[in-house]
A and B are shown apart, each in its own frame.
Chain A
Amino acid sequence: MLEITNLHATVADKPILNGVSLHVPAGEVHAIMGPNGSGKSTLAYVLAGRPGYEVSEGSATFGGADLLALEPHERAAAGLFLGFQYPVEIPGVSYLQFLRESLNSQRRSRGEAELSGGEFIKLAKAQATLLGMDAEMLKRPVNVGFSGGEKKRAEMVQMGIMNPKFAVLDETDSGLDIDALKAVGAGINRIMRAPEKGVLLITHYQRLLDYVEPDKVHVLRAGLIERSGGPELAHELEREGYAEAAA
């Protein structure tokens, strides 16, 4: 479903990704682990199309189509969702307005009917409740005054509302206490565990993987996939650290 081949990318002329190859078939969850600065977020941004993240070589296809040829909003409409490591604050724009306009814009470009205000609020409230977030928070400006954990939970509420085909989740688990971690893990399983969907789960720690069991685990180091394996690789990394596991 997501096929990355020999992907090279630079940020501010500095090479960060040095030939990443990765295939996530439909129905699978793949975890990407790796030390700080190894290029995990860069990979996530390149997949979502962040300006300034230049692909110098290689390819990425999504459902057979050239992902890298699409604008960020077209990737979203195609069903790609990026859960941000650092969700962005937007003062003056309420979550409800932000998500309703975003979702309807996606639906328009897919030729689907837009949701009315009432329909959207119902959907948003249901998703917030499922993730244990007070739906009143959706009336507030996007992420303004949210704690780190609330921001991450809100990313998952957004994912529930958008109902994407594929999610790249960049350290969604960092900054979460154990209850929030459980809620987020359950949210990922509920929203994304389906035969026609896929997930790339970027994480530092084993603990989220206790709730969202990955089909494969990859270790990214210095912009390259250094090792791949089954779920047991995450346990090994947890026990021995990246240096040992690499050796």
Chain B
Amino acid sequence: MTAPFPTRKQEEWRYADLDALQPVWEQLGDVATLVLAAGESLEEMWLPIADDVQVRRVQLALGEGANARIFALNNAPVYGRIELEVSLAEGAEFELYAANIGAGLSTNEIVTNVKHVGEGGRSRQVIRSVLNGKAIGSYLGKVEVARGAQQTDAEQSVKAMLLDRGATANCKPELEIFADDVKCAHGATVGELDAMQLFYAESRGLDPASARALLLEGFVMGLWDSAGEADAIGDAARAALRRAA
């Protein structure tokens, strides 16, 4: 059974395109569940499809010492949502490398809730958004560290590049920490390509426009540097960038 239709009063749906979602909620509202037993590993690639509205809602439970790595490209023409709720038992590791690439009037969002339940868990979320036109790209990322989850190491790195004045990036990292010996780092930037990288590329002979295009590609493609097999997601991201840039 599908969950009740969300409202904007719910924080995690605050920036969603509910008008686009309403007609397809019955098909897309379900939450998929993934459970990794102790010590198991998972690597997934989440690629976009052609539909106007794309929603992926996943609950992921990581047993002791389990590790999951998810690479995701969010690039829906109208509304795309990647929603992940993750729980980490002792020593579990979770990594998310995800891109919002949005053009035109689209809304693409990544909404995560990472719950460190056991000790010594590690989570790392790296989000890169490239937005043009009036596109909206959002990251809402909540990290909860339970009372017993000492030595948690949680990292969130969120960067966005806006290619037009009308584009919007929302970024809302949120921490709820109930343990005292934890490391939670988050950084967020919106804006410019790195001036030193640009100069380095130009000093090698790239004209400014080509240097920008290359760095923009790297800005996103760097997400897949640690992936085992990145050809498919890399090609999809490159194609999406070409449409957006």
Question: Contact residues of A with B, CB < 8 Å?
Answer: 48-51, 71-73, 75-77, 82, 84, 87-93, 97-99, 101-103, 105-106, 109, 141, 144, 158, 162
Contact = CB atoms under 8 A, between A and B. Distances in A.
Interface string B43-85: 0000000000000000000000000000000000000000000
A48 B203 CA distance: 7
B222 interface: yes
Nearest to A104: B205
Given A84-B200, A92-B223, A141 B218 contact: yes
22 contacts: A48-B199, A50-B203, A72-B199, A72-B203, A73-B206, A76-B202, A76-B203, A84-B200, A88-B196, A91-B225, A92-B221, A92-B224, A93-B218, A93-B221, A99-B204, A101-B206, A102-B201, A103-B205, A105-B206, A141-B218, A141-B222, A141-B225
Contacts of B195: 51
Interface string B202-218: 11111110110011011
Contacts, number: 86
B25 interface: no
A144 B200 contact: no
A97 B195 CA distance: 20
B225 A92 contact: yes
A99 B214 CA distance: 11
B202 A73 contact: yes
Nearest to A103: B205
B13 interface: no
Given A98-B214, A106-B205, A162-B205, 16 more contacts: A48-B199, A75-B203, A76-B202, A76-B203, A76-B205, A77-B205, A82-B203, A88-B200, A91-B218, A91-B222, A91-B225, A92-B223, A99-B204, A101-B214, A103-B205, A141-B218
Interface of B: 195-197, 199-208, 210-211, 214-215, 217-225
Nearest to A50: B199
A102 B205 contact: yes
Contact of B225 (A75, A87, A103, A144): A144
Contacts of A50: 199, 203
A158 B203 CA distance: 11
Contacts of A106: 205
Contacts of A103: 205
Nearest to A144: B225
A71 B201 CA distance: 12
Contacts of B208: 71, 73
A48 B222 CA distance: 27
Most buried by B among A71, A102, A158, A162: A102
Contact of B197 (A48, A88, A99, A101): A88
Nearest to A72: B202
Given A98-B214, A141-B225, A144-B225, A90 B205 contact: no
Contact of A73 (B205, B214, B222, B224): B205
Contacts of B223: 92
A51 B193 CA distance: 14
Given A51-B195, A88-B197, A90-B215, A71 B225 contact: no
A48 B205 CA distance: 11
A162 B204 contact: yes
A109 B206 CA distance: 10
Contacts of B199: 48, 50-51, 72, 88
A105 B225 contact: no
Contacts of A97: 214
Nearest to A80: B203
B218 A105 contact: no
Which 3 pairs from chain A and chain B are nearest by CB? A92-B222, A92-B218, A91-B222
A77 B204 CA distance: 8
A75 B207 CA distance: 11
Most buried by B among A72, A82, A89: A72
Contacts of A101: 206, 210, 214
A106 B202 CA distance: 10
Nearest to A106: B205
A109 B202 CA distance: 13
A133 B137 CA distance: 41
Contacts of B222: 91-93, 141
A53 to B, nearest CB: 10
Contacts of A102: 201, 204-206
Contacts of B205: 73, 76-77, 102-103, 105-106, 109, 162
